[in-house]
Amino acid sequence: MQSAQMQETTNTTYKYLPWLAAMAIFMQSLDGTILITSLPSIAKDMNYSPLEMQSIIVSYTLTLAIFIPLSGWLSDKFGTKKIFSLAVAIFTLGSLFCALSPDLTTLIISRIIQAIGGSMMVPVARLAILYAYPKNQLLKVINFMTIPGLIGPVIGPSLGGFLSDNYSWHWIFLVNLPIGIIGLIFTQKIMPNFTNKVGKFDLVGLLYFSLALVVFTLLLELSSVGISSLTLILTLLGLSILFFILYIKHSKKTKDPIIDLKLFRIRTLRIGLSGSLFTRLGISGIPFLLPLMLQVGFGYSATIAGLMLLPSALSNVIIKPFVVPLVQKIGYRNILISNTLILAIIIFTFSFATKETPLFYFIILMVIYGAVNSIQMASMNTISLSDLDNNTASSGNSLLAIMQQLSMSFGISAAALALSFFKNYSGFIEGDTVTAFKYSFITLGILTALSTVVFTKLKKNDGNLLSGK
């Protein structure tokens, strides 16, 4: 166990580690955002409706959530350097398989392979950061390493749209290959091989947890494509609840459960995770819905739809240097309450758009959305980690990553479900696609506003150590 060594390390020793972590974030963010604007192109090539392509994204984010617990255990047992190298290699190979996929089923399977690598890549890099840096520098380091990683969202949507319009969607996956190879080379020089004491891997717990998530996601997916058999929905819901109950009972009897539910006794972690889950349920659907509305509802090209996401990514990057002083001055509680309400208002404002709405309207909204969202993500992530120590860092970090991916997966599924509901139930909105998008944005705005209640549970002084007070 290297906990003593970890406590004595300095920024000088690991000064390039945040850049390697940023590379991992870059690969994931580029992969996620470059795909969004290419969905209509993939749908056309594979003879599907663009409104039914969310399974490509959901299969990826769900697989991330399922395998993230394994990443923490593997990295502690075999070392952060070895597992990070393996993760980058699998992710890169999965990207190649995606580019070569001839149909939707093969593409989904390839995305799952890609996600297995992604499930270890970012969490292991962040775990190394937690081990390498003292707690009073954590906010600055995490905030810094996300800045280079935000280049992915800056170029992803517009690059995806450009490649889809002028070449083919296959290139959106091929761009990962040179990045992955470079990442593997630098990993050998930069990444330390931290290890920590671990118990026996909880395979039964992983099985229960995975089945619960898969069944619940399947329920959302079937509902979003119009399968509304009450018997089937109730059966899937019952099975999902059953597997969750089985996992809860199992975890109480297991010495080292795959997800230690005792972590929820840490108040700031509990509030941060639950707040992140409910907030992301609302905001995760925006990058999915907006490009679809611009292309399917308003008739814009994939390139234009991608460019409309660019202002958000740019403002996200620009605001990053101001996050730390802003949190230090206002405090986590005030930041998260006010920020979440602003996000809800912005999402709601998207519902006012029509086919005649000028593109400048979307640019202004996305600039504000990107800046506020940047503050929100940094604040939610760091407050969740504020009271972790060396004994809980690995499991707490994994739990944070799981909740992030689950909320993204459920957020996209919820957005697709809302869109499908408002589109298919002609008695409510007369089957108009643009109106369906309008009510979907309203739904996401309400979900985001309601999540504000969670952050009211924070205390005024929570997170002071992280913000340097």
* DSSP secondary structure of 20-61: HHHHHHHHHHHHHHHHHTTHHHHHHHTT--GGG-HHHHHHHH
How far is Cα 55 from Cα 282, in angstroms, rounded to an integer? 18
| pLDDT over 70 at 445, yes or no | yes
What's residue 7's pLDDT? 42
What's residue 345's pLDDT? 93
Say which residue the tokens 């909320």 belong to. 407
Handedness of CA 130, 133, 136, 141 (dihedral sign): negative
Report the amino acid identity of residue 304: I
How far is Cα 73 from Cα 258, in angstroms, rounded to an integer? 8
How far is Cα 265 from Cα 172, in angstroms, rounded to an integer? 42
DSSP-assigned letter for residue 1: -
| pLDDT over 90 at 5, yes or no | no
Looking at per-residue pLDDT, the higher value among 336 and 131 belongs to: 336
What's residue 10's pLDDT? 44
How far is Cα 324 from Cα 57, in angstroms, rounded to an integer? 32
202 CB neighbour count, 10 Å cutoff:
23
* Average pLDDT taken over every residue of the chain: 80
| pLDDT over 60 at 307, yes or no | yes
| pLDDT over 70 at 1, yes or no | no
Task: Indicate the domain borders of the chain.
Answer: 3-201+258-455, 202-257
C-alpha distances in angstroms, 430 versus 9, 248, 296, 357, 365? 63, 44, 17, 22, 28
Q: pTM for this one?
A: 0.71
What's residue 135's pLDDT? 67
Q: What is the mean pLDDT of residues 233-262?
A: 84
Residue 89: band (very low, low, confident or very high) from pLDDT cuts 50, 70, 90: very high
How far is Cα of residue 367 from the mean position of the Cα atoms in its chain?
20
Q: Determine contact, residues 462/333, Cβ cutoff 8 Å.
A: yes
Q: What is the mean pLDDT of residues 259-276?
A: 82
What's residue 52's pLDDT? 66
What's residue 94's pLDDT? 93
Q: Determine contact, residues 21/145, Cβ cutoff 8 Å.
A: yes
Q: 325-365: per-residue pLDDT in tens?
A: 888 788 888 888 999 999 999 999 998 988 888 989 999 99
Say yes or no: domain 3-201+258-455 is CATH 1.20.1250.20: yes
| pLDDT over 70 at 185, yes or no | yes
What's residue 246's pLDDT? 92
Residue 12: band (very low, low, confident or very high) from pLDDT cuts 50, 70, 90: very low
Q: 372-388: per-residue pLDDT in tens?
A: 988 888 888 888 877 77
Q: 26-52: per-residue pLDDT in tens?
A: 887 777 677 777 878 888 888 877 766
Q: Determine contact, residues 259/251, Cβ cutoff 8 Å.
A: yes
| pLDDT over 50 at 218, yes or no | yes
What's residue 344's pLDDT? 92
Residue 8: band (very low, low, confident or very high) from pLDDT cuts 50, 70, 90: very low
- Give helix 104-132 / helix 393-424 axis angle, nearest 10°: 150
C-alpha distances in angstroms, 7 versus 72, 122, 135? 19, 22, 10
Assigned token pair, 2: 């290297």
What's residue 355's pLDDT? 85
What's residue 4's pLDDT? 36
What's residue 11's pLDDT? 44
Which residue, 135, 180, 126, is CA-closest to 398?
Answer: 126
Q: What percent of the chain is predicted at pLDDT more than 90?
A: 10
Residue 3: band (very low, low, confident or very high) from pLDDT cuts 50, 70, 90: very low
Where does residue 421 fall: left (phi above 0), alpha (psi -120 to 50 degrees), or beta otherwise? alpha
How far is Cα 267 from Cα 386, in angstroms, rounded to an integer? 10
How far is Cα 268 from Cα 187, in angstroms, rounded to an integer? 32
Looking at per-residue pLDDT, the higher value among 234 and 372 belongs to: 372
What does the radius of gyration of the chain's CA atoms come to, in whole angstroms? 21
What's residue 87's pLDDT? 92
Q: Determine contact, residues 454/271, Cβ cutoff 8 Å.
A: yes
Range with top average pLDDT, 7-11, 134-138, 191-195, 226-230: 191-195
How far is Cα 69 from Cα 394, in angstroms, rounded to an integer? 9
Q: Lowest-pLDDT range, 166-175, 219-228, 275-284?
A: 219-228
- Give helix 230-253 / helix 203-224 axis angle, nearest 10°: 160
What's residue 129's pLDDT? 82
Q: What percent of the chain is predicted at pLDDT more than 70?
A: 87
What's residue 113's pLDDT? 92
Q: Lowest-pLDDT range, 124-128, 153-157, 249-253, 297-301?
A: 153-157
What's residue 56's pLDDT? 81
